[in-house]
Structure 1
Amino acid sequence: MLALTTCAALLLGPGPGQGPVMPEVRWEAPPGCPDEASVKAQIAALLARAPARTGQAPQVNLRVEALPGGRWRLDATITSREGQGRRSLEGDRCEALAEAAALLTAIAAAPELQQAAGPLPEEAPGSSVQEAPGGPAANQAAPGGPAGQDAPKGPAAGAEVPGSQAAVPEPAPGSPAEAPETGWPPGAEGELEPELPGAGTGQETRSGAPAPIRPRNPPKATLGLGAGIGAGALPGVSALLRAAVGLRGRHWSVALTQSFWLPRDLPAAGDQDVGGRMWLAATGVQGCGIVGKGRVEAPLCAGVAAGVLRGRGIGDLAASYRATSAWAAATVGPSLHVRVAPRVALTLGAELLVMLTRVRFEVAQAGEVCCSAPVGATGTLGVEVRLP
């Protein structure tokens, strides 16, 4: 095993007089990307084609992260004795960003490779790598680079690194310093952005000030108010009020709801002059999957609600008493949300209630007043506010 490792090091790493010193490379990438050994092998192959150099090798931190939509982002930080530079690239393939990272690192160690890579058009057909949004403007010199020098368009030509010197003429094809066949991924343009002295190692803005690190698409709090009608929990149709507080993501939401069915006077079955005043209060938990995006969304929700149904005797009674009974139901149904402002949406919802308990009230010697149906329904109209 030791012999194999030694042979690999001799093949991949430039020896004395064969090329510049290998930089200190730190590679971080998610699964599905080339590993650190592969990236270092690419760097060593590039440096083997450059003239030998003396001096301290730069330190290079390369970090790749996955972006929404199947894209990838590379953040490169190169530190040398002249200063520190940063650059960000985005691409459709992590392999292309790995090649870009290898070439960036090789140019940092051997600026002669900058000219060997050759200028490329600003936008190449089929390009898979581009400067990340918010990246620096093209062709700025990093610390230690020639001031005011106009560099040709192209990713390698514009990417001056700390300590780079004037480029040497392009070598003839077949010479040891000839650029690798893969070259720079087409369409990769941009600069290493200089950092301000004393700046942190975290994510930074173009001015060098630390930028806040925020999660992508964090869940938002929601507050909803509505009114509507319901049937089934009480005989006939009753008015109801509803409030909700919850969290929502891009395609989901959860909420805690509070419903109040307004009081209704119901006559007893055996005597119309007496009866009961009935009302319902229930708390529910609801989860939704959200279809659509933009102004119009269609959540499909399911949940469970539980509470108490209360009644009080009314009419020509010798004595009136209050009675309370537990109530519960499973709920399912669609709704429609139409956004009318950045954080405000109108809501229209419908629910099917499947009663888990059947409530029954009656007046002594007058018969039954109320009994819940096996199933019921609600319809509500309201407004939802999405908090920052």
Structure 2
Amino acid sequence: MFNFATICESVKRHWIVIAIVTVLALAAGVVSSLNSDDPDEAPTKHVAEASLYLTGYGYDQKDSGEYNYSFSEGYMVTDSRRLVVSSEVAGAVRAKYGKDVTITVPTWMNDEKKSEYSTRFLYIDVAANDEETALAACEMTVELARQAIERTLPVESVTLAEPVAIKTGSADRAANWGIDALPGEESTPIVAASGISMKKLVIFGFIGAFLSIFGFAAFDILTRRVRSEGDVERLLDLPVLATASSNEDMARLAKSIRVLMGRSELSSLVVAGASAADGAKNVERALVGADEVSVTGLVDLSGDVDAASRVLGADSVLLVIAENASSSKQLECALKQLRIAGVPVLGVVFVPKKARKASRAH
């Protein structure tokens, strides 16, 4: 049955595969996010664009004399771009229109040479979820940028070169107005570069972990293989008296059995295995050699048709279960034979896989 102990045992046993499945599910979530065609998932934006034209940049001529215009022109545009995305400009616009508004200063791409150009034109892009907000936020950005540039930088003039308009085409570079903004053209939102959706990552990760954990838990229950001491107590509802890993374990087991039999005034013991693969013979041999208890027989509960009758030859049973040895059908048959016999079961000796291999080698 499904319970917390079953799930914990399955996670402990299959944690490497569960971790791999979860990582693969997260990777699938990343791929799904980056390749999403769902309009509800894709980050679509209406982008408004305008451009300013800057002239006359220089430093204090008393200190530097004549300024090198070609040298300073790059500073002029770079400093202006920095002011556009400053808290004074972009911060004020986002404070008014919301954090969903983004403000960028793209460069112009020369389509013939496939290279970016930095000119005296300062492009301003404002993206928003709707067209009206994009236009209004862009108007405010242009005005605040113009004021900040004139107040902060040594420019002669800042003029509006291209008015605010909804942009089409690429969101990563400045628009080619003669192509991208034809008069009367219906504006469409621009699909921004796809990002990783945390929502999808959580969903994919949860599904991967959930399916792998409960899949392995269901597999362990349906196959009903005994793979640990916890499985013995959970599946058979019997206590584990000892783990048969060494001779010392067998010596301690013999003393425990003697105490249990003496407490319940039992005189004889039969050693039973759920199947021939459980190694009950090795346990029976060790107990007989210890000369601590009276072992009257050895029974294969699932392979002997007279198993129940043979168990009745003693007044107590010691069940031997080896790791991953008996099938679910064999375990059910063994429990059925014990119920028919009605002889008290003292407990279970669990035989790990390593101990089974060692006994076979000898």
Classify the TM-score, shorter chain.
under 0.3
Question: TM-score, structure 1 length as denominator?
Answer: 0.22
If each structure's helix is expressed as a fraction of its own residues, which one has the higher value? 2
Question: TM-score, structure 2 length as denominator?
Answer: 0.23
